[in-house]
Structure formats: structure tokens, C-alpha cells
Amino acid sequence: MPPTRVTPEQYDAVLFDLDGVLTATANVHAAAWKRTFDEFLRRRARESGAGFTPFDIGSDYVRYVDGLLRQDGVRTFLASRNIELPEGEPGDSPDLDTVHGIGNRKTERFLEVLATDGVDLYEDAVAWARQVRAAGLKTAVVSASKNCAAALRAARIEDLFDLRVDGLVAARLGLAGKPAPDTFLEAAKELGVEPRRAVVVEDAISGVQAGRAGDFGLVVGVARKGNAEQLAENGADVVVTDLRELAP
């Protein structure tokens, strides 16, 4: 699948996913999910006398939580283990075994790592974001993470984006998470651009599916995990390993 150029003649905006596209926080998220789920599963196994099968970053993270809204990831992974918990409320204590409580527990783990270790950037994405802005295109970050603002601040790249539609915005507006296109469509609406004149940039299967479902002008898959074929099969128009290949 050959690269294409993203120019202001064809497009008005670029909508970036965060984790795995701009920042290398996917590994931090994966570690936070593993610690959270393993604590829960170990305690549940101890109380029930059943065996303990840990959360597997290599398979469970990609299959059940990568790219999803936090609470959707909790539900999806637990369903894979035939576990159903009460929904609870968004403000549930991290100590509660509810969908929201476990999600809030994961946030605590993630922020602990972010505060101590900071965040690494993908230099190709940052350089390309600067190029498209210089060419006159608008930019936005569209992320399922409710910690998006904290990650952008830690990475010192807030100034590269006109808009942020993250997990907090999705919750406030009642937007469905990826693979539904709602968050990307909201970003396009707030930027004042038509979806067909906007580019979606994603590294997750659920993300490219969202871009395709929203009928965006171009869906770019960033194959940072050796998943080029899967991205193309699930909706990416073009797949690259370095976003600078698409420079205006």
C-alpha cells in the first residue's frame, strides 16, 4: 500500500490518536492494566479457591483493552474471563470492585508511572504534526484516555494541537468509544471541517475501524507493532511506519 501526501489542497485537518501514535505510553498503559487486573484476579482466585490466570500483555492487552474507553476495556476483558461486575459510578473509589472502580484503579497506576518516568515521544509523529500545521492544516488529538491532557503536558506537545477530544470529553458528551466513529466525528465538527476533508491517524485496529466507519477522507495506519496487514484489513487506506512519509 503506497504512501500518499497529505496536503492542504486535499485535506483541512489531521486527527491524531495519542498512545502509540504520538507518545510511547502504550507500554505504560499495558503495565498499568496488568497490575490492576492481576491484583483483582489474584484476590478473586484466593477468595474462590479457583486458579489464577494472569493478564497477558502480549494477547489480552491488544485484544481487549487497546484503544478502548477505560470502562469498555474493563468490561471486555472481564467478559473474556466470564466475569461480570456491577457498573458502579464514575466517581467510585479505586478500592471498589465495580467496572468504574477498577477503571479508576488503573488510572492511579498509570499516573504513578507517568509522574515518575515521564513519557517518550515518537519523533516522526511530532515532526509530521509540525509540518502539517505549517502547511495550514488544523490538528486534534482524539484519544480514549482520560489522562490525555496529563500525557500531553508531560510530553510538552500541547501547543501542537487545536483541540483535544479524550475520554473525559467522551464521557461528558455521551460519545461512544472506538471502534465507533463518534469521537473523531466530534473533533471534526469542533474544528469546523467535513469528515471527508480530514485525516485520521491511528495505530490500533479499533481506531482505523472508527476512521473507516466515520467515512473520513484518509485513514492512516501507523504500524508500530508489526501489524501493517491487520491495520489495512480493518480500514486503513495507507499504512506507514514513519509518518514523515506523508509530509505535505
Dihedral over alpha carbons 233, 238, 243, 248 (to 10 degrees): -160
Q: Is 23 exposed, middle or buried (0-12, 13-18, 19+ CB in 10 A)?
A: buried
The order of strands in the sheet holding 138-142 is 163-165, 138-142, 13-16, 198-202, 218-222, 238-240
CA gap 229, 246 in Å, rounded: 19
Count Cα neighbours of 116 within 13 Å in the Cβ-side half-sphere.
6
In the annotation, is 17 catalytic?
Answer: yes
Cα distance between residue 214 and residue 47, in whole Å: 45
Per the annotation, the verdict on 166 as an active-site residue is no
Closest of 147, 152, 195 to residue 171, by C-alpha: 147
Handedness of CA 59, 61, 63, 67 (dihedral sign): negative
- In whole angstroms, give the CA distance from residue 160 to residue 127: 10
Which of 19, 60, 72, 203 is catalytic? The answer is 19
Residue with cell 473523531: 184
**Lookup: cell for 38:** 492481576
Helix crossing, 26-48 with 99-117: angle to 10°?
140
Q: Are 187 and 142 in contact (CB under 8 A)?
A: yes
Q: Which of 12, 17, 72, 166 is catalytic?
A: 17
Q: Which residues are catalytic?
A: 17, 19
